Structure 1
Amino acid sequence: MDRVARTEAGGYRDRLLAGAVSCLQEKGYARTTARDLVAASGTNLASIGYHFGSKDALLNEAIAAFFEQWTERVEQTLFAGRPGSARELLELAMRALIDVFEELRPQLVLCVEGFPAALRAPALKEKLAESYARCRTAGADMLRRAGEQFGVELPVEPEVLVSVLVAISDGLMLQWLLDPAATPDAGQVVAALAALSGLIA
């Protein structure tokens, strides 16, 4: 493949992913067709098969890409500040997970709509499970590096902490989509966790 062809192929893949995100946000997982994807991306039907194998594989990749991008945002937030305690480190992480809901609303809807679809689509279920696994691994690594860099001693194993933080974020994401005004922010969540810790210590 010559340089022009390689450039075009790479451009088509990116355009297909962008088109898939647009379609998923507008129509949802079940209602998005291959022709919708072609129209949104300005590509052609053959390019879907060439780059992703199928329409469903393209949609699955688009959903997984959002998880990856969100994980990267969390990392940038953690290492942009200088927390002096485990609580400050936790609050930084929660800001990147919770206080961004308004900014990420279209992607959150896309994410939530992917869950019921995954229950009936083994390939999507596997893709989302892989995304969560990468998120846990990356998150644990971030916390270890942050703890070492800032001299913060983590109160529990990083893998356990990341799983709990993701569960809290996912649950609050659902609450926020239904009733934003009643959903606590990162500071309130950390305060609540600290209060619970005092009750059960």
Structure 2
Amino acid sequence: MGNREDLLAGAKSCLMEKGYSRTTARDIANASGVSLAAIGYHFGSKDALMNEALFDVMREWGDELGTTLTADLKPEATPMERFEQAWDRVVESFERMRPLWVTQFDLLGQLDHLPEVRAQLIGVMGEARTGLAELFLGVDPDAEPERARLTGTFYQAMLTGLLGQWLLDPDSAMKGRDVVTALRAITS
């Protein structure tokens, strides 16, 4: 790898270990084995490097989640069985990517001071909504854009809420079966 790639890898490592706001330029330089000056040369600033690292990690998680959610689904399963299995897989991904989620919740409180991050998150959220609608319901966002937006937004709200609960108290957070039972209870 070159210095740019080493810096990005170092920033991702720091992001997962220390979080977004607690990572210093020196932390990144030490983790990457590259000079402090190289951060400015390759990225312009530590913040620009951290933003790129954050969105790379988020894209990687999104790709992994998409693959995980669609793998080994039984074609004969009912929609609720598929939904339950998918939510269990989402919760498993929370466990693997806890540092990413802690970082994202940390960033939510700082968005008024990070306009570049806010703008990027808005774009990512839009993509995530349509992706969730496709994954959970098989909605084609090109054919049914409003249905994809609405159902994707609902899934995203559930995901964020469940994630917040899981970060606080993983032992009592809902699993797939719990979510299905709750949905049945509120829609009956």
- Regarding TM over 0.5, the answer is yes
Distance 1:141-1:184 versus aligned 2 partners, 3 A rule? closer
CA distance in 2, matches of 1:140, 1:47: 41
Distance 1:82-1:26 versus aligned 2 partners, 3 A rule? same
Deviation of 1:108 after TM superposition, in Å, equals 1.9
Q: Does 1:82 align with 2:74?
A: yes
Q: Is the CA contact 1:29–1:117 (under 8 Å) kept in the aligned structure 2?
A: no
Distance 1:159-1:54 versus aligned 2 partners, 3 A rule? same
Q: Equivalent residue of 1:132, what SS? A: helix
Corresponding residue for residue 107 of structure 1:
100
1:9-158 alignment runs, 5 A limit: 12-80=3-71, 81-83=73-75, 84-143=77-136, 146=138, 157-158=147-148
Distance 1:34-1:187 versus aligned 2 partners, 3 A rule? same
Higher relative CO (Cα under 8 Å, sequence separation at least 6) belongs to 1
Report percent identity of matched pairs: 39
Deviation of 1:55 after TM superposition, in Å, equals 0.9
Deviation of 1:26 after TM superposition, in Å, equals 3.4
Shift >4 Å, 4+ stretches: none
Deviation of 1:79 after TM superposition, in Å, equals 2.2
Q: Which letter does structure 2 place at the counterpart of 1:53?
A: G
Deviations 1:132-167 (A, max 9, x none): 1221233334456x479xxxxxxx933322221221
User: Which region of structure 1 is more displaced relative to structure 2, 122-131 or 78-87?
Assistant: 78-87
CA distance in 1, matches of 2:20, 2:162: 22
Find the partner of 1:184 among 170, 174, 177: 174
CA distance in 2, matches of 1:90, 1:159: 18
Q: Which letter does structure 1 place at the counterpart of 2:162?
A: L
Q: Which runs of 5+ in 1 are unaligned?
A: 1-6, 149-155
CA distance in 2, matches of 1:133, 1:160: 11
Distance 1:159-1:115 versus aligned 2 partners, 3 A rule? same
